[in-house]
């Protein structure tokens, strides 16, 4: 990752020595063919130029080159080979360049593209280039022979093996280029996973296989350092799979590159612990964080994972110096989970916050399509179905209709209070829900104790439009009959223009007493007019609640309530009931 050395004065003395070496070796008159230290590669010219300019703030000999592969490489040089190897060790040692940087002879540099107009100084390639041996071309070795060939490795070679083992998920200690017990155990674990004899000593062929697989995965992901100055974030991320899209605070959006299907959000917002906790709640409401997954939060950070049949994601954020910084990596469910989680872990390990810098909440433009169920250009997760219910006691017990709830993975009221379906009945389809945590509702239902007057005014409180509105809608109607159209007992007929989302809601009389529960629209071959709906009457509701140990509270109210008071009573006891899968 590029480091601005002026921000780290302690590195300046060491850097000056390295810089003198660079200047000296940039002079004409080569003792041998020139070489370069290649530090990054990018798929587009714009990215390569952007990163080259970033490095130019710390180094005086940066160039960007078009590679024969079609990508663009960023390199320091040219050098004599011994001096290039010395610069590589020193710059990696102080963290000024990525740890997977390497010495290149420039054979795959086809054109220097930055600085513009610079001439490419590279040796002519040999007439017949010699390809490096493939792992299958290398000989098998005994354990003793493997140990002997291992001793010929230099420090960088040993560190690369540890890095590859770490990438593969077998090594979790420091990259110290020392093959101690931890490294030996990691080698044995990798050998066992690949079907080799777990000796704990890699043969030359096995080392080549491990490193080739590591480099292939790194190349596919395009892991590269990014200095996102607007967000105040430095991080390594899979720039081979994503590209910058837009700023929409508190996120920096990176869209899929080509058909990768991978997306990244960088999270940057000034704030404190309350901001962190708020983002924790907000991220869980988004479609990119599926319900199935872990949720972890402490005083200074949070981690969210999610998976469904379409996608997987990993989100991490932490509170750093008065700002919340983090990221979300999202990928298709069919993608290699181990590879993408390794990319996520690298992003987490390399996440740095630039002090006193965070995304300006006024920058960028809102996405062209803005809806109530979107946040900063992202879809908010929506339930599969939402209808209505209402509290029937002071413990948070909810009465509703069971239709649509039987096969739910998760049932909630409000936005996030989880409920359990504890009872239902088949005749009318009533259901009782109980909260998984202690609740104390503001109010609960008072039921009408007298026989209601025919042709009297009624009102249904319901979430007619799902969770779009925070409060229930009151729909006015009339009590048309105390029985069904065929004379059925236990139900009453209403003339009312109710919507499907109102189903399960309380039906009030003019005094604010509950007459019953609004039932789903009639189904079958016979289609009733749109203004005909049924309610489960007091006798049916009372019998069902009594069977489940719930005592009804009788209303003593008389006289019509003003509309404002009726709306307030409805709001205090009526809740949206949502099914999530």
Residue 70, burial from CB neighbour count under 10 angstroms (0-12, 13-18, 19+): exposed
C-alpha 183/C-alpha 162 separation (Å) is 7
The domain made up of 223-378 is a member of CATH 3.40.1000.10? yes
Residue 19, burial from CB neighbour count under 10 angstroms (0-12, 13-18, 19+): middle
Tens digits of pLDDT across the chain (581 residues) = 343 433 434 444 344 344 444 444 344 444 468 999 999 888 878 778 877 877 776 777 899 998 887 888 999 999 988 888 888 888 877 667 887 889 999 888 988 888 865 554 443 333 333 344 455 556 678 888 889 888 888 998 899 999 999 888 899 888 899 999 999 999 999 999 999 999 999 998 899 899 888 888 888 888 888 888 889 999 999 988 999 888 888 999 999 998 999 999 999 999 999 999 989 988 988 888 988 889 999 999 999 999 999 999 999 999 998 999 999 999 999 998 989 999 999 999 999 999 888 988 877 666 666 555 556 666 666 788 899 999 999 999 999 999 889 888 889 998 778 999 999 998 899 999 999 988 999 999 999 988 888 899 999 999 998 877 889 999 999 999 999 888 888 899 999 999 999 999 999 999 999 999 999 987 766 778 888 999 999 999 999 999 999 999 998 888 888 999 999 999 999 999 999 88
Longest alpha-carbon distance in the chain? 108
CATH for 5-114 is: 3.30.70.1070
What CATH topology corresponds to 382-581? Thrombin, subunit H (2.40.10)
Decide: helix, strand or coil at residue 107: coil
C-alpha 64/C-alpha 41 separation (Å) is 9
Strands (E), 453-524: 457-462, 473-481, 491-496, 506-508, 514-518
CA within 13 Å, CB half, 545: 23
Helix (H), strand (E) at residue 220: helix 204-221
Domain residue spans of the chain: 5-114, 135-221, 223-378, 382-581
CA 92 to chain centre: 31
C-alpha 14/C-alpha 326 separation (Å) is 31
C-alpha 104/C-alpha 174 separation (Å) is 26
3-state SS record for 214-246: HHHHHHHHCEEEEEECCCCEEEEEECCCEEEEE
**CB neighbour list of residue 405: distance below 8 Å, 6 or more residues apart:** 411, 421, 431, 577, 579
DSSP for residue 123: P
């Amino acid at each position: 990752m590029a480091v601005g050395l002026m921000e780290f004065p302690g590195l300046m003395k060491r850097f000056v020595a390295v810089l003198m070496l660079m200047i000296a070796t940039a002079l004409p008159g080569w003792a041998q063919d020139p070489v370069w230290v290649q530090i990054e590669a990018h798929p587009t010219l714009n990215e390569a130029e952007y990163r080259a300019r970033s490095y130019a703030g710390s180094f005086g000999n940066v160039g960007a080159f078009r590679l024969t592969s079609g990508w663009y490489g960023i390199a320091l040089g040219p050098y004599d080979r011994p001096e290039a190897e010395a610069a590589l060790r020193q710059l990696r040692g102080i963290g000024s360049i990525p740890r997977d940087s390497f010495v290149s002879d420039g054979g795959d540099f086809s054109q220097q593209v930055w600085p513009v107009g610079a001439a490419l100084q590279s040796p002519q390639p040999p007439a017949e280039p010699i390809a490096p041996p493939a792992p299958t071309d290398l000989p098998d070795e005994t354990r003793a022979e493997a140990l002997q060939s291992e001793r010929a490795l230099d420090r960088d070679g040993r560190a690369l093996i540890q890095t590859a083992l770490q990438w593969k998920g077998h090594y979790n200690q420091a990259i110290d280029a020392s093959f101690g017990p931890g490294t030996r155990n990691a080698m044995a674990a990798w050998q066992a996973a690949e079907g080799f004899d777990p000796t704990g000593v890699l043969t030359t062929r096995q080392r080549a296989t491990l490193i080739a697989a590591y480099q292939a995965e790194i190349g596919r992901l395009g892991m590269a350092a990014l200095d996102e100055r607007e967000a105040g974030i430095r991080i390594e991320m899979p720039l081979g799979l994503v590209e910058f899209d837009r700023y929409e605070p508190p996120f920096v959006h990176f869209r899929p590159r080509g058909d990768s299907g991978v997306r990244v959000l960088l999270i940057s917002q000034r704030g404190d612990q309350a901001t962190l906790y708020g983002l924790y709640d907000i991220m869980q409401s988004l479609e990119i964080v599926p319900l199935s997954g872990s949720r972890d939060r402490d005083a200074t950070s949070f981690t969210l994972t999610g998976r469904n049949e379409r996608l997987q994601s990993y989100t991490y954020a932490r509170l750093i110096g008065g700002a919340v910084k983090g990221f979300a990596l999202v990928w298709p469910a069919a993608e290699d989970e181990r590879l993408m989680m390794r990319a996520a872990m690298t992003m987490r390990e390399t996440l740095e916050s630039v002090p006193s810098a965070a995304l300006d909440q006024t920058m960028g433009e809102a996405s062209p399509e803005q809806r109530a169920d979107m946040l900063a250009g992202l879809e908010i997760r929506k339930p599969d179905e939402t209808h209505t219910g209402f509290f029937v006691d002071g413990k948070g017990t909810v009465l509703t209709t069971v239709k649509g709830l039987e096969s739910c993975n998760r049932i909630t009221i409000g936005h996030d209070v989880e409920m359990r379906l504890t009872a239902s009945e088949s005749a009318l389809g009533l259901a009782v829900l109980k909260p998984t945590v202690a609740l104390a509702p503001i109010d609960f239902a008072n039921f009408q104790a007298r026989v209601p007057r025919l042709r009297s005014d009624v009102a249904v409180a319901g979430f007619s439009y799902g969770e779009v509105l925070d409060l229930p809608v009151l729909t006015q109607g009339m009590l048309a009959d105390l029985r069904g159209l065929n004379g059925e007992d236990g139900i009453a007929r209403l003339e009312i223009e109710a919507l499907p989302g109102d189903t399960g809601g309380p039906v009030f009389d003019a005094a604010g007493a509950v007459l019953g529960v609004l039932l789903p629209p009639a189904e079958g071959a016979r289609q009733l007019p749109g203004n005909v709906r049924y309610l489960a009457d007091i006798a049916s509701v009372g019998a069902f609640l009594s069977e489940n140990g719930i005592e009804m509270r009788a209303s003593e109210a008389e006289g019509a309530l003003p509309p404002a008071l009726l709306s307030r009573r409805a709001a205090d006891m009526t809740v949206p009931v949502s099914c999530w899968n």
